[in-house]
């Protein structure tokens, strides 16, 4: 078979004029999210200070727990900012894939902090349930309104970036939970002021903590999956193998490994079985495979090893007795 002598499909024509290395595209615009993170850090420091003072004056556990949560938010925003700065560094000899995974590590640290804080709030809430104390409703209300305004502004700053980046999303989760917390504290302060229902302060604290735990668990699964280099959940290996095997010249694809560097960049390595008579067309076949992986499966970086005889796999799934041409 000679692919050069046949009529080209659009896919074949494209790869003949383009050497596709499979690297993800990089943008070098202004990092708006980093600037918004800095503003968010200062806003949360102000909120934390106000809630600590207000919590002490009003004797509100909900305010003090929210202040602790806000302080953890400030730390998490700092971690997110630091991780984002590191992730922007160019690849070097020590980190040949670059520093993108720094943001995944930052998100993981933030989520662990959230879990610890939430468990602490549950413990304190249970303690206050059995030993209720009087609370100054008016002070609690004023401080809660200040906290709501600050948290709303911070959530607004981070909302757009949270859709695109798991590191920003973990910080946004901190802030979103605080925004909901502030709304709850306002409602609780009104009930305390007019009806002296002090237990609502405790119930609110436990409710917020449970919400944070549930959201943190969902995001922790995603970050751990990336750190463990798991196959992305949206990819079906059998479907991918069937699709690539339909490319002209490809007998089959096997020994497939797929993992993510971060939430946006997916990598693949695999073995491609072709006939010996197609040796001269190997580069063209490789280009078509890379193009298909990029367009159909959003896999921007692929390393392919070509074989003329399908390899035998050992117990670990590694190929042995190869007659291969490597890429």
pLDDT, position 311: 65
Looking at the domain assignment, is residue 24 inside a domain?
A: no
Into how many domains does the chain fold? 2
Cα–Cα distance between 230 and 169 in angstroms, integer? 20
Tell me the residue range of the domain where 145 lies: 32-227
Looking at the domain assignment, is residue 5 inside a domain?
A: no
Looking at the domain assignment, is residue 14 inside a domain?
A: no
In a shared domain, residues 250 and 208 = no
In a shared domain, residues 173 and 94 = yes
- C-alpha 80, offset from chain centre: 11
pLDDT, position 31: 63
pLDDT, position 22: 39
In a shared domain, residues 287 and 196 = no
Q: Is the confidence at residue 64, as pLDDT, over 80?
A: no
pLDDT, position 319: 56
Looking at the domain assignment, is residue 131 inside a domain?
A: yes
Which segment of 96-105, 187-196, 249-258, 297-306 scores lowest on mean pLDDT? 96-105
Q: Who has greater pLDDT, 73 or 290?
A: 290
pLDDT, position 313: 60
Looking at the domain assignment, is residue 257 inside a domain?
A: yes
Q: Is the confidence at residue 288, as pLDDT, over 90?
A: yes
Q: Which residues contact 301 (CB under 8 A, 6 or more apart)?
A: 22, 23, 24, 261, 265, 266, 267, 268
Q: Is the confidence at residue 216, as pLDDT, over 70?
A: yes
Q: Who has greater pLDDT, 117 or 238?
A: 238
Place of tokens 């436990």: 206
Over residues 115-169, the pLDDT tens digits come to 887 888 788 778 777 776 677 778 888 888 888 888 888 888 888 777 777 777 7
In a shared domain, residues 207 and 285 = no
pLDDT, position 243: 93
In a shared domain, residues 245 and 319 = yes
Q: What is the pTM of this model?
A: 0.64
Q: Is the confidence at residue 290, as pLDDT, over 90?
A: yes
pLDDT, position 19: 41
In a shared domain, residues 240 and 166 = no
Q: Which residues contact 172 (CB under 8 A, 6 or more apart)?
A: 155, 158, 159, 161, 162
In a shared domain, residues 148 and 259 = no
User: Pick from 186, 206, 227: which residue ends a domain?
Assistant: 227
Q: Is the confidence at residue 314, as pLDDT, over 90?
A: no
Looking at the domain assignment, is residue 99 inside a domain?
A: yes
Taking a C-beta distance cutoff of 8 angstroms, is the pair 140, 192 a contact? yes
Over residues 71-111, the pLDDT tens digits come to 777 777 787 778 778 877 887 777 777 787 887 888 888 78
User: Pick from 208, 227, 246: which residue ends a domain?
Assistant: 227
pLDDT, position 32: 67
pLDDT, position 312: 63
pLDDT, position 317: 53
pLDDT, position 20: 40
In a shared domain, residues 182 and 63 = yes
Q: Who has greater pLDDT, 102 or 32?
A: 102
Find residue 320's DSSP bridge partners. 312
In a shared domain, residues 122 and 146 = yes
In a shared domain, residues 267 and 129 = no
Place of tokens 């609690």: 140
Question: What integer best gives the mean pLDDT of the chain?
Answer: 77
Cα–Cα distance between 186 and 188 in angstroms, integer? 5
pLDDT, position 114: 79
User: Pick from 191, 208, 227: which residue ends a domain?
Assistant: 227
Looking at the domain assignment, is residue 17 inside a domain?
A: no
Looking at the domain assignment, is residue 22 inside a domain?
A: no
Q: Who has greater pLDDT, 23 or 233?
A: 233
pLDDT, position 30: 52
CATH number for the domain harbouring residue 124: 1.20.1510.10
In a shared domain, residues 194 and 287 = no
pLDDT, position 62: 67
Which segment of 65-69, 181-185, 210-214, 298-302 scores lowest on mean pLDDT? 65-69
Cα torsion for 284, 285, 286, 289, to the nearest 10°? 130
In a shared domain, residues 37 and 95 = yes
């Amino acid at each position: 078979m000679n692919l050069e002598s046949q009529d080209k499909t659009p896919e074949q024509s494209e790869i003949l004029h383009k050497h596709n290395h499979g690297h993800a595209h990089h943008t070098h615009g202004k990092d708006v999210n980093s600037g918004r993170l800095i503003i968010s850090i200062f806003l949360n420091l102000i909120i934390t200070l106000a809630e600590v003072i207000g919590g002490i004056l009003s004797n509100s556990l909900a305010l003090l727990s929210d202040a602790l949560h806000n302080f953890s938010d400030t730390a998490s925003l700092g971690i997110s900012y630091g991780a984002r700065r590191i992730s922007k560094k160019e690849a070097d000899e020590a980190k040949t894939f670059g520093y993108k995974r720094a943001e995944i590590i930052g998100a993981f640290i933030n989520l662990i902090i959230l879990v610890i804080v939430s468990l602490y709030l549950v413990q304190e809430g249970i303690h206050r349930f059995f030993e209720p104390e009087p609370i100054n409703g008016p002070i609690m209300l004023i401080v809660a309104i200040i906290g709501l305004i600050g948290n709303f502004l911070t959530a607004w700053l981070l909302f757009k970036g949270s859709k695109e980046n798991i590191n920003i999303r973990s910080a946004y989760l901190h802030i979103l939970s605080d925004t909901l917390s502030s709304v709850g504290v306002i409602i609780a302060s009104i009930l305390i002021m007019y009806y002296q229902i002090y237990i609502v302060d405790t119930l609110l604290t436990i409710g917020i903590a449970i919400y944070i735990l549930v959201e943190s668990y969902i995001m922790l699964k995603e970050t751990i999956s990336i750190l463990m280099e798991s196959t992305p959940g949206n990819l079906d290996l059998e479907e991918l193998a069937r699709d690539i095997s339909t490319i002209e010249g490809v007998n089959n694809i096997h020994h497939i490994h797929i993992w993510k560097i971060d939430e946006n960049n997916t990598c693949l390595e695999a073995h491609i079985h072709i006939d010996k008579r197609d040796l001269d067309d190997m580069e063209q076949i490789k280009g078509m495979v890379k193009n298909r992986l990029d367009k159909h499966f959003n896999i921007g970086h692929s390393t392919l090893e070509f074989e003329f005889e399908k390899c035998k796999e050992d117990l670990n799934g590694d190929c042995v007795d190869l007659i291969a041409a490597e890429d």
